[in-house]
C-alpha cells in the first residue's frame, strides 16, 4: 500500500526506468517520494519491458529494484483506489486486471528475474518481487501484506504465497498484516537469498556481465533465525481454529506476550476484511495454481470496492491519517457468512476480467 502522499506530477515516462546493462535488463521503480508505489502506467511499462526482453537474445536476465534508500515498493497507489471507490468508477478494476496479469507473467517469466527486496516491500511491491525466480532480501527488508488494516484483502497473488508458507505462518501474516525481516521472509518462502545491503551496489554491477546464480554465490550470506521460527508452535495451534473469533480466543489463551499482541493487532483490523482474508487464504491453498488464485483475488478486490471498509480504512490511514477507522460492521460477530460469501461471487460482467496466461505476450 502507498503509505505516503506524493503530490508531485510524475511524468509517465520517468516513473519506471528501463535500461540494459551488459546482458541484464534493469527495471527501476522511480517514485521514491511515494516509496515507489505502483500506478497503472507503471504496471503497463513493466509488462512492456519484460515482453521486449523476453524476445531479446541479448538479454539473459532481468533485475528489478527501487529508487531511493527506503524500499523497493510500498504497494499500489491506494489514494487513487480510495477516490475510485468513493466515485463508484472502474479505474481500480482496470488497474488490478493488468497488475494481476503482470504478477502471473513474472511468475512464469522464462529468464531469471532478480528482485532486490531491500527496505519496504508491501502489497503490490510483493507482487512484482516475490513471484520472481531470484528474490533477494537484506537486513533492511520489511516485507508485508498489510491489507486488512485498510479494509482490504491480500491480493497480487499474496494469498497464494501466504497459503504456501510453512504451517500457518502465512495465515498469521495475512490476518495481522505484520511486516517480517529477512530471516522470516526466507522462512515463509517469500525470498531466496540474504545479501547485506552494503553489497548491493557490487551485486548490481556484477549482474551486468554474469549470471545471477554466479553473482549470488559471491555475495549471499547466512542470516540467523527470526521470531516466527520461535513462535511457530503457538501460531500453528492458534490459526488452525475454524474462525477468526476462535483464532483470537486461542491467541489470548496462550499466555505468550507475542500471541496476545497478535490478537490485539487482529482486533484492530476490519472485521469484514479479516473474515474474507481467512477464507481467501484457505481457498487459495485448495486452488493451487497462481492464475486460479489471481482470478479469485480479482473477484474479491472488485467486490471490496463496494465495501464501506475500504474507503474508511484508506481515509483513516492515508487521507486524514487519524488512525481511527470506524469499521462497518464494527465487530467480528456482526459479520455474517453471507457477507463473506459475496466477496467470492462471480462478477456481473460477462467478459472474463481476471488475469490470464497470455498477459505480456
Q: What is the pLDDT of residues 198-218, one digit of tens each?
A: 999 999 999 999 999 999 999
Comparing CA positions, the residue from 162, 177, 174 lying closest to residue 287 is: 162
pLDDT of residue 12: 55
CA separation for the pair 8, 135 (Å, rounded): 30
DSSP string, 108-164: T-SS-EEEEE-BEEETHHHHTTTTSSEEEE-TT-EEE--GGGGT----TTHHHHHHT
pLDDT of residue 348: 82
Is residue 136 predicted with pLDDT exceeding 50?
Answer: yes
**In the block, which residue shows the cell 532481468?**
62
pTM: 0.92
Instruction: Provide mean pLDDT across the span 107-128.
Output: 98
Query: What percent of the chain shows pLDDT beyond 70?
Result: 93
**In the block, which residue shows the cell 528475474?**
113
pLDDT of residue 89: 85
CA separation for the pair 307, 163 (Å, rounded): 24
Phi, psi of 66 (to 5 degrees): -115, 145
pLDDT of residue 124: 97
20: preceding bond cis by omega (within 30 degrees): no
With cut-offs at 50, 70 and 90, classify the pLDDT of residue 88.
confident
Is residue 317 predicted with pLDDT exceeding 80?
Answer: yes
Is residue 195 predicted with pLDDT exceeding 80?
Answer: yes
pLDDT in tens, 138-170: 999 999 999 999 999 999 999 999 999 999 999
CA separation for the pair 202, 258 (Å, rounded): 38
Positions annotated as catalytic residues are 76, 124, 147, 155
Is residue 356 predicted with pLDDT exceeding 90?
Answer: no
With cut-offs at 50, 70 and 90, classify the pLDDT of residue 32.
very high
Sign of CA dihedral 103, 105, 108, 114: negative
Amino acid at each position: 500500500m502507498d503509505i505516503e502522499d506524493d503530490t508531485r506530477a510524475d511524468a509517465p515516462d520517468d516513473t519506471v526506468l528501463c535500461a540494459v546493462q551488459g546482458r541484464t535488463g534493469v527495471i527501476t521503480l522511480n517514485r521514491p517520494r511515494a516509496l515507489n508505489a505502483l500506478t497503472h502506467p507503471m504496471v503497463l511499462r513493466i509488462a512492456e519491458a519484460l515482453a521486449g526482453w523476453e524476445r531479446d537474445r541479448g538479454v539473459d536476465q532481468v533485475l528489478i529494484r527501487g529508487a531511493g534508500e527506503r524500499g523497493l515498493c510500498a504497494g499500489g497507489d491506494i489514494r487513487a483506489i480510495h477516490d475510485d471507490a468513493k466515485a463508484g468508477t472502474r479505474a481500480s478494476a482496470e488497474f488490478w486486471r493488468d497488475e494481476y496479469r503482470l504478477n502471473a507473467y513474472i511468475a512464469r517469466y522464462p529468464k531469471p528475474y532478480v528482485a532486490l527486496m531491500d527496505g519496504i516491500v508491501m502489497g503490490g511491491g510483493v507482487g512484482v518481487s516475490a513471484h520472481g525466480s531470484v528474490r533477494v532480501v537484506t537486513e533492511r527488508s520489511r516485507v508485508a501484506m498489510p491489507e486488512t488494516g485498510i479494509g482490504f484483502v491480500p491480493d497480487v497473488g499474496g494469498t497464494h504465497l501466504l497459503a504456501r508458507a510453512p504451517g500457518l505462518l502465512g495465515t498469521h501474516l495475512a490476518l495481522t498484516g505484520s511486516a517480517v525481516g529477512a530471516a522470516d521472509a526466507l522462512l515463509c518462502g517469500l525470498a531466496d537469498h540474504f545479501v547485506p545491503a552494503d553489497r548491493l551496489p557490487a551485486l548490481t554491477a556484477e549482474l551486468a556481465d554474469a549470471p545471477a546464480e554466479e553473482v549470488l554465490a559471491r555475495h549471499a550470506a547466512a542470516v540467523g533465525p527470526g521470531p516466527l521460527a520461535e513462535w511457530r508452535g503457538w501460531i500453528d495451534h492458534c490459526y488452525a481454529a475454524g474462525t477468526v473469533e476462535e483464532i483470537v480466543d486461542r491467541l489470548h489463551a496462550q499466555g505468550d506476550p507475542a500471541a496476545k499482541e497478535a490478537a490485539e493487532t487482529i482486533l484492530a483490523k476490519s472485521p469484514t476484511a479479516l473474515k474474507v482474508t481467512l477464507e481467501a487464504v484457505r481457498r487459495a491453498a485448495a486452488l493451487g495454481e497462481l492464475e486460479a488464485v489471481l482470478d479469485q483475488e480479482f473477484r474479491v478486490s472488485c467486490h471490496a470496492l463496494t465495501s464501506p471498509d475500504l474507503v474508511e480504512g484508506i481515509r483513516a490511514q492515508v487521507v486524514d491519517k487519524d488512525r481511527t477507522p470506524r469499521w462497518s460492521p464494527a465487530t467480528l460477530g456482526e459479520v455474517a457468512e453471507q457477507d463473506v460469501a459475496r466477496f467470492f461471487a462471480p462478477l456481473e460482467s460477462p467478459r472474463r476480467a481476471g488475469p490470464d496466461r497470455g498477459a505480456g505476450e
